[in-house]
Structure 1
Amino acid sequence: MPGRYCSGCYTYGQQHAVAECVGCRRQVPVDDKYGYCRLCRARASWAIKAGGKASVIEPYLRQVTCRQLFFANLQRPKNGGSPVGKAGRRVLKPPPPPEPPHVITGWVQLPLFTLPRDFRRFDRERHADLAIPWLVRARQTARALGEARGWSRWIVSDVDRALVIVLSGYREGEPIRYSELFPALRVRGLPVMRTAEVLDHLGLFSDDRAPAVDRWLGRKLRGVSPGIRRDVEAWARTLLDGGPRSEPRARQTAWTYLNEIQPVLLEWSGRYDHLREVTRQDIATGRDAATGKQRESR
């Protein structure tokens, strides 16, 4: 290879002195034990593998009497290309285009009512508009975030596809909601959270998901009368978040407490509208109905 070496040949040359190879008679780095270059040793190794059984390399080295040939134009390194410039240096990559200025319009059209957008119907051939300023800016932001966060080129490509889907046809002042983003990207196997991160970096993202605590309380207090539900929900949030005179408890503690009293709350909701109506006898009855560890927790 004229002036170019693979990593194996380069390392071999760093570890061995240059001398005449016994096999191919070239002035190349050879090993100290047998006096053969790396390519001759490779030919001997191939002969051993062709024989189908392990063997010492010395007898096969003696059979090497010809030079290693190459196919034309296949001896280039992985980042191949014609060398240009002085001493074969390559031209540096051009700098990325400057970020387009953010155009601030003097007015914004206020929506009369809000309709959810369905990005699942997006067709790139018909709907893609790559010249939208917000899309151009978002794609540049995604590349910058990818370099900063160490995203692979596949992730960067997927985020770029997702941005084209959600920002083609984008109008100034319309946030991209999570409830609109998630179905369209999940069905295509595109990253939702990384796309949301890029949109949030530009101030275009609106997270309209209900908090996990709200969803949990909604499931546990389903069927409880509104008056009782309001007081129990305030008590559960105090357990989780703490209060002026109490420290926050572990989440598992709040879950356990609410799971234990849920049947009693449902029973009381059939007779009462507020916890103020619950009598001492009702509390004693609920306590006596429990057994074992359930009784201890109450």
Structure 2
Amino acid sequence: MDTLNLAKDTASLLPDGPWTAVPDDTWNPGASRLTHADGRSIRIDRARRDGYVHASVLYPHPCHFPLHGGHQPTTEMRADRGARALASALTRKLLPVYNEIHPQVVAANSAHVEAARKRDAFADHLASLVPGASVGDGHHGGGAVHVHHYGPNLSRADVDVSSQETHTINLRWISSAAAEAVMRAYAATLPDHTAAAPDPASSDTGTGAFPVEAIGPLAHEALGSDWTAEHGAAESVFTGPDQRVFRLLDDEGTLALWFDDAMGHSVPEGPLGGGAVIYPPGVWFECRSPSEPAGALAVSVAEALRSLTAT
């Protein structure tokens, strides 16, 4: 089957010309391609069915636009129907989608190239800040570029520079002075870097992300009459059947249970003051999802309290 002559006859019948027909043996011998000056390209190939041709759109490779099946229309027809029928099928079935998506692919690819150029330039800049640093391929893929430096006394710095303009820095075996300088520089980039850091020991309340005043009473109801409780806006205090005391509070965005050790063990100072311990090891409750309904959180709290008093 002579697809090239069919493609040549079809080229002059397509809208928004000129289109040019060229041989394309990339996939199958005897295939052809209709190309446009703006980069659009349509492959004309023999179909699986004898006497039929298959037409499909082509996008630049690699492609950095999220294509799906609807972006890659195809059509088939009997070759003996000729160029006018093929031009009509391409105009109706392929070009409407192709003309919309192809410019987006080109734009996405251009943006990717520009982002990579900026990434590489920034990596070179970072390397220039430290004598002896070098640039290589990223450790974690994803288009990252790696900047590394080996310093004295086994110290080293590694930076994965991303085209997304968020980067990963790993510093090892650096001096105390260097660590302080790094943290000060990092703090200076934060929007609220002038605000004083909160003192965890100065308050029992956190960010208020969890409605403790609603969760506490619901948890008490689920526990039953052998538990007593006192509820406030900031915390709920539960006393179990064994007289152990537990405190439910929002600890800086984490819904947490804290309790006094009534078993005679030494009690270390904790973020909430003396008596704040985890006992038994690994059996306590914490949650960092304020979006969960208060009722569901209350059930989890009650189950955790029962497990703590059962051990």
Task: Indicate whether the TM-score tops 0.5.
Answer: no
TM range (shorter): under 0.3
Normalising by structure 2, we get a TM-score of: 0.24
| Structure number having the greater helix percentage | 1
Normalising by structure 1, we get a TM-score of: 0.25
| Structure number having the greater strand percentage | 2
Relative contact order higher in (CA < 8 Å, ≥ 6 apart): 1
